[in-house]
Chain A
């Protein structure tokens, strides 16, 4: 895999104003994410992992600094631009799956395709491919409430990949699952990274989960404290 840069953070700072106080989460953070990477971000609670992921995903914006994606400076984007950019480039996987409860599995997976101009037939084909990849094609008509946590997370993965984004962002994707199910989900992410070339950034508390990644970074008090490469 070539070392092509996908993301570059330059001197990023992020602070929140709470009442009169200004809480600084990051101050002058630099980071590079290469295409094809599977990166795990670890760190204590409150260290800013989710905030960092949100900035990468364009749902939150830095207070200062620059965020470059594929040669575009996304921190300068307006909200409407960011929205469109997210739809095209990012797949999201959340800790609590976040499926629409009133839609069945297939329709949940189809959701991001409403933002494309694919034909009905193409959409159906994409949904089927994504569901097959996560091994749930036989559950297409099932409602989220009729599925286990692991199955729901697999539907969520299918939803994240259905529009073929370059980057998948996961915030504690296995935080709500037992060990065995978590391993299945992580293997699936590994597969997406290795066989389908997806760049993955995953936030996790769990060292076992991080071991599936190619690379792990530790965040503490707004800084990367140590870098290690998985064996």
Chain B
């Protein structure tokens, strides 16, 4: 027998109460783990955006195309380092339910604008030469078991061939990785020329432009210049930094996140009060026993530690179980959410933060009862009829 055994015995003497307390904490950390993981996945898009990269989209909204002529015009502007353009292709592989992230791009400039995309030089050359070539992200290639040289048919629910077909054939020329682990490689790109020649509508339009400036300090100036140049034309533009763009894109989701955060915070607070009250009650019920322990010669600091240890243990049991459940939930939802939230993983920082909150919860709820136990006077406790 040791102090831990005493803590355990104290903790489990009312199993139903222990269960309910742990369950409340479990739910709190289940929600906390799931929501923070979701939020961090949403935020990572913003964090990964380059500082000097601008997006030029149609002012109406980003799904409305722009004329290809803008590509040359923007390239010629002062302060612009590199420009590329892209079209959303979408599509699916074999099964309409297996939606893919596919874009038609200008290959050379695309790789210049996105240094995050890392390709073996030989594969890169092969892709640049091959009009029907596809450059596939490692994540996608792994998901479908694709290898270099594979011929893959990609069907579109937006575009069709001149002959009415919906399926395009591609050859995988290269598989790219990200320059950092966080960079999401769950997409693929192919030649704009191939896309252009086979589509029936869309003409010479591009979806959007992406450019890098000579220096982030020029961002504002360049963006202003672009939007001014095309103002009052049939295709007005809206230029923003990639960060701002990603942010705007997820803002709606973000607002929901804020609401969820509010709910979680309130739930947390409620649980704090409930658990704190339960702990205080549990210790008050044991006034007589604590007085006996002190009489036998258990020191006040030692009893303080035992009470605090109990509340910490309860917080950790409920909290870790909840976090584990959140992890399972996230892992289960990962595949389904991969398209929208590629970085849906419960990172070490989230786990560390959650454990920090558990310890905080344990401390806050245990501190007052522990302090009362510390100060408990033997004579008064016995006089109160505690024993």
Contact = CB atoms under 8 A, between A and B. Distances in A.
B13 A102 contact: yes
A57 interface: yes
B128 interface: no
Contact of A83 (B6, B12, B289, B300): B300
Contacts of B143: none
A78 to B, nearest CB: 11
Contacts of A96: 387
A98 B2 CA distance: 19
A94 B387 contact: yes
B247 interface: no
B297 A84 contact: yes
A92 B293 CA distance: 11
A139 interface: no
Nearest to A165: B297
Given A59-B379, A98-B288, A102-B10, A92 B387 contact: no
* Interface size range of chain A in the complex: 20 to 34
Given A57-B295, A83-B294, A86-B295, A110 B1 contact: yes
B13 A101 contact: yes
Contacts of A100: 9, 289, 292
Contacts of A84: 297, 299
A96 B288 CA distance: 11
Interface in B292-345: 292-300
Contacts of A101: 13, 289
- Considering residues B2, B288, B299, which has the most beta carbons from chain A within 10 angstroms of its beta carbon? B299
B297 A86 contact: yes
Contact of A86 (B6, B9, B296): B296
A85 to B, nearest CB: 8
A186 B276 CA distance: 45
B298 A83 contact: yes
B296 A111 contact: yes
- Considering residues A59, A103, A112, which has the most beta carbons from chain B within 10 angstroms of its beta carbon? A59
B294 A114 contact: no
Nearest to A60: B379
Contacts of B294: 59, 83
A115 B2 CA distance: 10
Interface string B1-30: 111011001101100000000000000000
B35 interface: no
A6 interface: no
Nearest to B13: A102
Contacts of B3: 114
B378 interface: yes
Contacts of A115: 296-298
A127 to B, nearest CB: 10
A176 to B, nearest CB: 12
Contact of A87 (B12, B289, B296, B378): B296
Given A103-B9, A110-B1, A54 B379 contact: yes
Nearest to A85: B297
Given A83-B300, A110-B1, A59 B10 contact: no
Nearest to A106: B1
A110 B9 CA distance: 15
A79 interface: yes
A117 interface: no
Contacts of B300: 79-80, 83
Given A98-B288, A114-B2, A92 B295 contact: yes
Nearest to A100: B289
A80 B10 contact: no
A111 B292 CA distance: 11
A98 B290 CA distance: 10
B106 to A, nearest CB: 74
Interface in A72-119: 79-80, 83-84, 86-88, 92, 94, 96, 98, 100-103, 107, 110-112, 114-115
Contacts of B2: 114
Interface string A44-80: 0000000000100101100000000000000000011
A86 B292 CA distance: 12
A54 to B, nearest CB: 6
Nearest to A96: B387
Contact of B295 (A59, A80, A107, A114): A59
Contacts of A86: 295-297
Interface of A: 54, 57, 59-60, 79-80, 83-84, 86-88, 92, 94, 96, 98, 100-103, 107, 110-112, 114-115, 159
Given A60-B379, A87-B296, A98-B292, 14 more contacts: A54-B378, A57-B295, A84-B297, A86-B297, A94-B292, A96-B387, A98-B289, A98-B387, A111-B1, A111-B296, A114-B1, A114-B2, A114-B298, A159-B296
- CB-CB nearest 7 A-B residue pairs: A87-B297, A102-B9, A59-B378, A86-B297, A98-B292, A102-B13, A60-B379
17 contacts: A54-B379, A57-B295, A59-B378, A80-B300, A84-B297, A86-B295, A86-B296, A87-B296, A88-B297, A92-B296, A98-B292, A98-B387, A101-B289, A102-B9, A111-B296, A114-B298, A115-B296
